[in-house]
């Protein structure tokens, strides 16, 4: 996100009171996050005296930061790169999704202890259906094997999709495939993210999901799909990158005639699930999406 994209930080609350309930996002860096305007727009829309703040936290300071949030009376927080795995290890209890994925991106601070949840998988599943890309029974190529890929593979496997994880370091893809093999209804394999493998598999794929940072601002010219290889026309393409909205990968897929979707839907829906966990109220998804669109580059 470019500096002007936050529109002068006009999403900040000037009227915070002692009664205001606080949540936020922990990351390093965290200044690029669009979660504060997204959540604060939802709070305003529902008339809630809540505020969501950016929380820059160095990795080495995460244990103290989590303890500090509890001491300061925060209701909860989100964790973004590079803190999702560390938050997983710092809570008292994990939801089934967080335990299966091996990472927590949402903290809920309760009197009985700290609950770690992962909203990424549910957010991805909802975004796929919203984009008319239902995962049930499809053959999906997941590009990348990092933290985001874990949630994506879990969501796909839970929907009985067959999944091939491709990564430039095949051993990392193999480790992820092994970790996700608990989903007995799904077939998960791994391979190398290279031109030869993509060319061999592209004729038999229904969905391609990019979980790598390739194409993300400021390196918008990069793509995990080789320029000389035509994207499969019959496949759908979902790119987790949402800044910019139209990545080089999505351009390649669209040029081939494939259905495409950027990662804004996943961002909004994973945020909505965290919002509902904290507030116990239905998230105004359309309001949250509009707030994100207002601060993101077209």
Residues with catalytic function? 84
Distance, in Å, from the CA atom of 114 to the CA atom of 270, rounded to the nearest integer, reads 19
108 bridge partner residues: 76, 115
> What does R_g of the chain's alpha carbons equal in angstroms?
19
222 bridge partner residues: none
Joined tokens for residue 57: 């936290």
Nearest to 32 by CA among 68, 81, 84: 81
114 bridge partner residues: 109
Distance, in Å, from the CA atom of 177 to the CA atom of 156, rounded to the nearest integer, reads 12
Distance, in Å, from the CA atom of 266 to the CA atom of 242, rounded to the nearest integer, reads 9
**Cis amide linkage into residue 244, ω under 30° from 0:** yes
List, in sequence order, the alpha helices (H) in 91-146: 96-101, 120-130
């Amino acid at each position: 996100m470019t500096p002007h994209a936050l529109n002068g930080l006009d999403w900040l609350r000037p009227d915070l009171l002692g009664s205001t309930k606080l949540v936020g996002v922990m990351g390093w860096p965290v200044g690029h996050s669009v979660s504060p305007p997204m959540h604060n727009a939802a709070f305003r829309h529902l008339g809630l005296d809540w505020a969501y703040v950016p929380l820059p936290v160095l990795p080495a300071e995460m244990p103290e930061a989590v303890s500090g949030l509890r001491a300061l009376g925060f209701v909860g927080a989100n964790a973004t790169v590079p803190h999702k795995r560390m938050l997983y290890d710092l809570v008292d209890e994990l939801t089934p999704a967080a335990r299966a994925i091996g990472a927590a991106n949402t903290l809920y601070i309760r009197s009985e202890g700290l609950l770690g949840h992962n909203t990424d998988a549910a957010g991805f599943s909802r975004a796929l259906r919203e984009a008319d890309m239902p995962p049930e029974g499809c053959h999906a190529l997941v590009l990348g094997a990092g933290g985001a890929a874990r949630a994506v593979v879990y969501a796909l496997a839970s929907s009985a999709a067959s999944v091939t994880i491709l990564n430039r370091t095949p051993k990392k893809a193999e480790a992820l495939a092994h970790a996700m093999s608990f989903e007995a209804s799904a077939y998960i394999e791994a391979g190398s993210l290279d031109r030869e493998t993509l060319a061999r598999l592209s004729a038999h794929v229904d969905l391609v999901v990019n979980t790598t940072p390739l194409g993300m601002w400021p390196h918008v010219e990069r793509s995990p799909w080789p320029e000389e290889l035509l994207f499969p026309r019959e496949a759908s393409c979902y790119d987790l990158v949402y800044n910019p909205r139209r990545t080089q990968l999505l351009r390649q897929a669209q040029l081939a005639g494939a259905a495409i979707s950027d990662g804004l839907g996943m961002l909004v829906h994973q945020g909505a699930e965290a919002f509902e966990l904290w507030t116990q109220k239905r998230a105004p998804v359309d309001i949250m999406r509009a707030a994100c669109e207002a601060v993101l580059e077209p």
